[in-house]
Structure 1
Amino acid sequence: MEPLSRLEIDSIKEVMSIGAGHASNALYLMTGKKMMVSFPLVELCPIEKVPSLIDKPEEPVAATYLSMTGEENGRRFPVGAMVFLFSQKNAIKLAAILNNEKIGDYEYYELTNMDISALEETGNILSGASLTAISKILGIKIMESMPHFANDMLQSVLNSLLAEIAPKSTDALIFKTEFHIEDHGIKGNSLILFDPDTLTMLRKRMSSLFKDMLKEYIEEEYEEIDKRVV
């Protein structure tokens, strides 16, 4: 698929920034800690290139993921999947902060059920906020599954996810994801694995929306000129 244009990148970043704002508020309500979530970089790339853009394929990661289903005029269809990936170190750090616990030794610490639950809920909040904005652009209802958790080498996690929840996806939208929580900064990656038809629909819809906004802007400018002339 063709690389994203500058307009598409800016449009998607704007959509995700709206979702990030809602997610930041929801995480604050969940933890009582001031948080800011941001997506400073977005890229569309073939699935097979994802591991090299994130980390070494053999590096251990923690992932929360969920599948997405669309509904339009009573018809349901696959939209794709959303995945949140953190290095083992950053997953441990984020879980400790979310649970108000002391950050343990990264090398020997294993994620507990409470840690996993906190990471799953964070993924649920992030996806819910982002998908609300995406569904409005597409003009369809998007339903998400319950979040799930995986903890393994990066390549193994991605292979399992593609086979399980996004078998038709050929491209991935990758968002560099940053959490700023009080004095802590945590980096991760968010992936949207769209069904090919849905990704095509999204790109067409963004182009159409831009043309509509441009037309509206031009018409408003002419109205202002007409007022000044009169």
Structure 2
Amino acid sequence: MNNFSELHLDALTEVFSIGAGRAALSLSEIVGDEVRISVPSVQIINSEDINSTTLSLNCGRFGAVSQHFSGPLNAEAVLLFTEEQALKIVSDMMGSQMSTDELAEFEHEAMCELGNIILNACLSAMADILNFTLESSLPNYTVASADEILHRLKKNTDQSYILILHIDLAIEKRHTAGNLVFLLSSASLTNLIIHIDQFLGSIHE
């Protein structure tokens, strides 16, 4: 797969873990409590191989925050949680006891803010460490079924690869598992490999 090795995945896991730490600090300031975000694993697959099992998508509905990044990497990034988890995250962010209907009113704004923080922290960490610049669009939040999510991820035929970050978000004692997905073209994946190789070469000089 474009010479993408376990060493590249290990490097990306470390890079994204740094980004997750930055995001956790930013979210801690918002919620006024300890937030922990970890990246247990990173994997890359061909886009045609994506399925519900890969992303732990069940038959429910999912909240998806999407954002486009451009530069050496032209990527569509999508942060995924179940809608139930998304509402719990909104509740934790709001720091108040609200009904489900009341939380739903703030869901779009709060999830866009959450996604913006996590996506930009992860991408900025990668850009800083691998020494390149990225521009980003505004985040967009939608709620969709598992089938709709999979169709959306597969329909971008020019983006042949999918980079998946499995993440764990903990606000106070509540743990939430989600996925951060990057849709990459062959050219973007090649550029990513080049930058990782340059970084790995620099630390071994």
Structure 2 length-normalised TM: 0.88
What residue is the counterpart of 1:86 in the other structure?
81
Match of 1:174 in 2: 164
What does residue 12 of structure 1 align with? 12
Judge conservation of contact 2:2–2:189 (CA < 8 Å) in 1.
no
1:1-230 matches, within 5 Å, as 1=1, 4-51=4-51, 52-56=53-57, 58-70=59-71, 79-102=74-97, 112-160=104-152, 163=155, 168-214=158-204, 216=205
Structure 1: runs of 5+ lacking an equivalent: 72-77, 217-230
Give secondary structure in 1 for the equivalent of 2:76.
strand
**Preserved contact between residue 93 and residue 103 of structure 1 (Cα < 8 Å):** no
Displacement of 1:154 in angstroms is 1.9
Letter matched to residue 81 of structure 2: F
Counterpart of 1:195, as a letter, is S
Counterpart secondary structure, 1:30:
helix
CA distance in 2, matches of 1:167, 1:102: 44
Q: In the TM superposition, what is the alpha-carbon distance from 1:203 to its structure 2 partner? A: 1.0
Superposition RMSD on alpha carbons, in Å? 2.3
The DSSP-based 3-state class of the residue aligned with 2:96 is: coil
User: In structure 2, the residue corresponding to 1:211 is in which secondary structure?
Assistant: helix
Q: Which has the higher contact order (CA 8 A, sep 6+)?
A: 2
The offset of 1:59, in angstroms, is 3.2
Q: CA deviation at 1:111?
A: 5.9
AA at the equivalent of 2:182:
I
Are the equivalent residues in 1 in contact too, given 2:87–2:104 (CA < 8 A)?
Answer: no
Distance in 2 between residues matched to 1:110 and 1:56, nearest whole Å: 26
- Give the conservation status (yes or no) of the 8 Å contact 2:130–2:199: no
Change (3 A) 1:167 1:141: farther
Q: Count the aligned residue pairs.
A: 204
Partner SS, residue 54 of structure 1: coil
Q: Point out 4+ residue stretches in structure 1 off by more than 2 angstroms.
A: 1-6, 48-52, 55-59, 101-105, 136-140, 157-163
SS in 2 for 1:112: helix
Task: Give the C-alpha shift of residue 136 in structure 1.
Answer: 2.8
| Offset at residue 134 of structure 1 (A) | 1.9
- Give 1:50 deviation, angstroms: 2.7
| Equivalent position SS for 2:112 | helix
| Matching residue's letter, 1:15 | V
Give yes or no for contact 1:3–1:45 (8 Å, CA) kept in 2.
Answer: no
Say which one has the larger Rg: 1
Identity of aligned residues (%): 25
Q: CA deviation at 1:167?
A: 5.0
**Alpha carbons 1:99, 1:115 under 8 Å: kept:** no
1:103 Cα deviation (Å)?
7.1
